[in-house]
Structure 1
Amino acid sequence: MSHSRISGTGGYLPERVVTNAELETLVETSDRWIVERTGIAQRHVAAPDQICSDLAEAAALEALANAGIGADAIDLVLVATSTPDHVFPSTACRLIERLGIASGAIAFDLGAACSGFVYGLDVADRFIRTGGARRALVIGAEVFSRILDWSDRSTCVLFGDGAGAVVLEAGEAPGILSTHLHADGRQTPLLNVPWGVAQGYESLQGSHGKVSMRGNEVFRVAVRTLGALVDETLEANGLARGDVDWLVPHQANIRIMTATARKLGLSTDRMVSTVAEQGNTSAASIPLALHTAVSDGRIQRGDLLLLEAFGAGFTWGSALIRY
């Protein structure tokens, strides 16, 4: 049985930056209020002609370049997203054509909201370990601005657009040491987009196709759940809190992220944080944060990383990785 390791990372952020000061002109809010409660100072928003596959392609090309392989070597493409180009075909299938990946490769999208990238790592790792694939592109990509109600101050200040990608390759030494995934659909009303194909296109009116969130309740559940997830991950690997070198969390809220770092016994300078500059990019946030810390040299080969996320569903999951 093979193991899988990360051989390359990539990221892409749209050019347009929306600051808190700009949001002050749209809704009743303030830069101070947003920063104090979320840690977010700005976010990137896709251009009107940009779609999910555009962002995903740019991140994937950088990941391939950093891995030193061509697209024709990839035999699995997995895109984690809540904002795909179409109902079908999948955004992953579109990338096969756009990237020049050989016909016959495996390609599909995965929907687990903000936990999507961690879910995607788990699935790709299982393909590689069981011989179903040798090299995989795992991408988190979102154009979340398309499903935001820009008059709802409780949600429009939080989210941004972007894409992050990793190349996973089979190898003898373990890279992904363990993954831990969970879900609970009983709390769907706390965070959702209350529209789907089942309702029919005619029902897509006003805020029905936009994000709805009860933020305080989501915050409480997330902090409690991620704390338990940290314990689960460490115990499964026989590790102590101080053994982890870097926490790479989903970039949802600086208070949630800091609480998780405390649970690990890590100082905040061992936590990768991009939330101030990028906001919550949903499934793209972890691979973007990982790429940032790899690119600037903070994360080095051999470091032990804990990736963790919590998202709508609810879904939550972690990945322990020897980078």
Structure 2
Amino acid sequence: MPSAVIAATGLFTPDQSITNAELVAAYNAYADRFNQEHAAVIAAGEVEALTHSSVEFIEKASGIKRRFVLDKAGVLDPARMVPNIPERPDDQLSIMAEMAAAAAREAIAAWGKPVSEIGAVLCAASNMPRPYPALAIEVQQALGIEGFAFDMNVACSSATFGLKTAADYIHSGSVRAVLMVNPEVCSAHLNFRDRDSHFIFGDVATAVIVEGDDQAGPGGWEILGSRLRTVFSNNIRNNFGFLNNAAPEGIGQPDKLFIQQGRKVFKDVVPMVAEMIVEHARDLGLDPAALKRLWLHQANINMNELIGKRVLGRDPSPEENVIILDDYANTSSAGSIIAFHLHHEGFAPGETGLICSFGAGYSAGTVFVRKRG
């Protein structure tokens, strides 16, 4: 039974970005407009006035300094505060498939093998553009890949769930190689009118190629083990779905966008993920304190720092606990893959690291990898 190897990764980053200062200015202008338009009911105590956001608040709460987006103008328009992403005709490549294909082409170029070697395409992401046909099949066609493809959604944990699925296909001998893509247009489901969360997400796409060690060239990363866990919780939720078409008055309401109870999420998820990492490491015969690097889901700097401390048993250095959310913000499923893609250098053969994600569900996935010679 072949071992699974992460052979290559790819990244697509939009060419537009928004700083915290720009986002705060737009939100505060919206808040002022709202308070002026609702002055009477606010004075009567029937509606609560909106308070301003600030750069200091955002950075303390999250560690985020900017985010990449597909449409900057729509987000920063106080009268709109929604990205303007025109719907494309059915005979054109969809925007998410375009993003995924761009990241995939970078991974394929780094891999250096023909796409005929790939037997499956998995699209693992938080929000799909439609119920069907599967986005993965659209990406498959765009890249000229045969075999099969399907979508999977486990919110921010989608990429690690996808990696385990890919590894299982390799272990079983079903295919020679798997392409997993993680396109995330998070700006389309973020409520930019909500002070507590208007800064959280950004747009991006990542790609990973997994193949068997019996055909992999030198280098790459052996997947030592992957483990998944889910526990149902409403503390992170998005109620938008195709059934909303039966009740159009609900579309655009706050609960059809991203909502969370941040303090509860922090309290619940940090111990759950830290314990899962330590337990999985020990089951694999690894010392969690000896991990060279952690590529965690990029949700919140405070969560990541505390998880890193609990896993390593000390305050991790920036080289040990990679943080990229200051530049990219929370990119849902793609976050841990961006961290891995951008910061995987400096490993000697035999050294180990961890790709880990966690999010709505609750869901969590751990993928321990070892550098190959």
**The TM-score by the shorter chain falls in which range?**
over 0.9
1:299 to partner: Cα distance? 4.8
Distance 1:137 1:302 in 2: 25
Q: Does 1:194 align with 2:239?
A: yes
Tell me which of 355, 367, 370 is aligned to 1:307: 355
Q: Unaligned stretches of 5+ in structure 2?
A: 28-51, 72-84, 87-93
Please list every run of 5 or more consecutive structure 1 residues that lacks an aligned counterpart in the other structure: none
Report the residue type matching 2:365 in the other structure: G
Q: Deviations over 1:291-317 (max 9, x none)?
A: 1113xx345654311111111111111
- Where in structure 2 are the equivalents of 1:287-298 lying within 5 Å? 287-294=337-344, 297-298=345-346
CA distance in 1: counterparts of 2:184 and 2:101, whole angstroms: 12
Q: Provide the C-alpha distance between the structure 1 equivalents of 2:307 and 2:254, rounded to a whole number of angstroms.
A: 33
Sort the Cα spacing of 1:79 and 1:301 in 2 relative to 1 into closer, same or farther, 3 A: farther
Task: Specify the alignment match of 2:319 in structure 1.
Answer: 269
Does residue 139 of structure 1 match 2:181? yes
Question: Paired residue for 2:226?
Answer: 179
Matched residue SS, 2:343 = helix
For 1:298 and 1:147, how far apart are their aligned partners in 2? 37
Map of 2:61 onto structure 1 = 37
| Alpha-carbon spacing, 1:222–1:164, altered in 2? closer, same or farther (3 Å) | same
> Which of structures 1 and 2 has the larger relative contact order (alpha carbons within 8 angstroms, sep 6+)?
1
Structure 2: how far apart are the matches of 1:259 and 1:236?
A: 22
Q: Does 1:246 align with 2:288?
A: no
> Whole-Å Cα distance in 1 between the matches of residues 148 and 197 of structure 2?
35
Asked if 2 retains the 8 angstrom alpha-carbon contact of 1:164 and 1:286, the reply is: no
- Does residue 52 in structure 1 map to residue 100 in structure 2? no
Q: Deviations over 1:183-219 (max 9, x none)?
A: 112x12x111123233434232332421111111111
Shift of 1:233: 1.6
Aligned residue number for residue 37 of structure 2: none
d(CA) in 2 for partners of 1:302, 1:153: 45
Who is 1:82 aligned against? 126
Q: Is the 8 A contact 2:282 2:288 kept in 1?
A: no
Q: Which residue of 2 is the match for residue 218 of structure 1?
A: 265
Larger Rg: 2
Matched residue SS, 1:269: coil
Distance 1:273 1:300 in 2: 21
Q: CA deviation at 1:242?
A: 2.9
Q: 1:167 aligns with which of 209, 217, 223?
A: 209
C-alpha displacement at 1:51, in angstroms? 2.3
- Cα drift, residue 179 of structure 1: 0.9
Over 3 Å counting, the alpha-carbon distance change for 1:144 and 1:3 in structure 2 is same
Q: Which moved more, 1:107-116 or 1:220-229?
A: 220-229
- How far apart are 1:80 and its partner, in Å? 0.8
Deviation at 1:264, TM superposition (A): 2.5
RMSD: 1.7
Q: Which residue of 2 aligns with 1:123?
A: 165
Distance 1:8 1:137, change over 3 A: same
TM-score, normalised with respect to structure 1: 0.93
**Aligned partner of 2:105 among 61, 70, 73:** 61
The answer to which of 256-265 and 143-152 deviates more is 256-265
The answer to whether the 8 Å contact 1:26/1:151 transfers is: no
Structure 1 contact 246–303 (Cα < 8 Å) conserved: no
Once the two structures are aligned, what percentage of the paired residues are identical?
30
1:96-126, Cα deviation, whole Å (9 max, x unpaired)? 1111112xx1201110000000000000100
CA contact (8 A) 2:224 2:368 kept: yes
Q: Alpha-carbon deviations, 1:60-83, whole Å to 9, x = none?
A: 100111111122221110111122
Specify the SS of the correspondent of 2:239.
coil
Question: Normalising by the residue count of structure 2, what TM-score does the alignment of the two structures yield?
Answer: 0.81
1:97 aligns with 2:141: yes
Aligned equivalents of 2:305, 2:120: Cα separation in 1 = 34
SS of corresponding position for 2:304: helix
Could you tell me how far apart the structure 1 residues matched to 2:180 and 2:310 are?
A: 28
SS in structure 2 opposite 1:268? coil
